[in-house]
Amino acid sequence: MGLSAETALVLFSGGQDSTVCLAWALDRFARVETVGFDYGQRHAVELTVRPEIRDALSALNPDWAARLGEDHVIDLAVLGQISDTALTRDVAIAMADNGLPTTFVPGRNLVFLTFVAALAYRRGAKHLVAGMCETDYSGYPDCRDDTIKAMQVALTLGMDRRFVVHTPLMWLDKAETFALAQDIGGEGLLDTVVERTHSCYLGDRSHRHDWGYGCGECPACQLRAAGYKKWREDRARR
Ligand code: ZN
């Protein structure tokens, strides 16, 4: 795909999905900036792995290094204050009565996209890239394709500026996300995703599995482990 001369802002948490999204954007846009949010997550591991991943991607590809611009970390402590969920307080990770896991922070992605768009407005960027995915997530309503499309329209109207929200992972499962990483950046990107990205809800960076670090038990670890296993099996058949 050809290179766009425009700027993209990537919602970048340091997880597997947003790291693949960052590589996807670096492959397509002449300038790419990253945006992270500090909202009192119980484990700030994902915030500490972010600069390491940025450095690793720059080291993989000199074109990516030239395109990778600033990193912005926005303090959204207020989101932690109004949310009572397993990610921000000591609440057990379980399924709540509404069928959503207790890791659900109501409206989180709506807030994130609004702040990214406000930043993009100031920086003259049209493209927002985010790792929302409808395929094998836990049913978070703010990850749905319709939600994201509605946000694109709302932000474009509300700021009177054309925004395009790209969600390259929307219809991929975790195995297909590993495959996309390989397509974009080969073994180097795959190694970076496995070794450096963080998904575990418990912030475990001490147990190393073939799919990366994590407790191995929480929903995020189980999803990542199953996706990696399926991807390995798919690749062996090719
Ligand atoms: Zn875990």
Q: Distance from the CA of 207 to the center of ligand 1, in angstroms?
A: 10
Q: What is the pLDDT of residue 195?
A: 95
If DSSP states are collapsed to H, E and C, what string results for 125-169? CCEEECCCCCCCCCCCHHHCHHHHHHHHHHHHHHCCCCCEEECCC
Q: Distance from the CA of 225 to the center of ligand 1, in angstroms?
A: 10
CB 137 within 8 A of CB 174: no
Q: What is the pLDDT of residue 143?
A: 87
Q: Distance from the CA of 222 to the center of ligand 1, in angstroms?
A: 7
Q: Distance from the CA of 206 to the center of ligand 1, in angstroms?
A: 11
Q: Distance from the CA of 93 to the center of ligand 1, in angstroms?
A: 10
Q: Distance from the CA of 166 to the center of ligand 1, in angstroms?
A: 28
Q: Distance from the CA of 8 to the center of ligand 1, in angstroms?
A: 31
Q: What is the pLDDT of residues 167-186, one digit of tens each?
A: 999 999 999 999 999 999 99
Structural fold of domain 4-198: Rossmann fold (3.40.50)
Residues 6+ apart with CB under 8 A from 108: 39, 79, 83, 142
Q: Distance from the CA of 136 to the center of ligand 1, in angstroms?
A: 16
Give residue limits of the domains in the chain: 4-198
Q: Distance from the CA of 28 to the center of ligand 1, in angstroms?
A: 32
Q: Distance from the CA of 226 to the center of ligand 1, in angstroms?
A: 13
Q: What is the pLDDT of residue 67?
A: 98
Residues with CB in 5 Å of ion ligand 1: 200, 202, 214-215, 218, 221
C-alpha angle 193/3/64, rounded to 5°? Answer: 40
Q: Distance from the CA of 80 to the center of ligand 1, in angstroms?
A: 20
Q: What is the pLDDT of residue 1?
A: 57
Q: What is the pLDDT of residue 232?
A: 93
Count of residues making up the chain = 238
Q: Which residues of the chain have pLDDT under 70?
A: 1, 41-43, 83-104, 136-138
Q: What is the pLDDT of residues 13-25, one digit of tens each?
A: 999 999 999 999 9
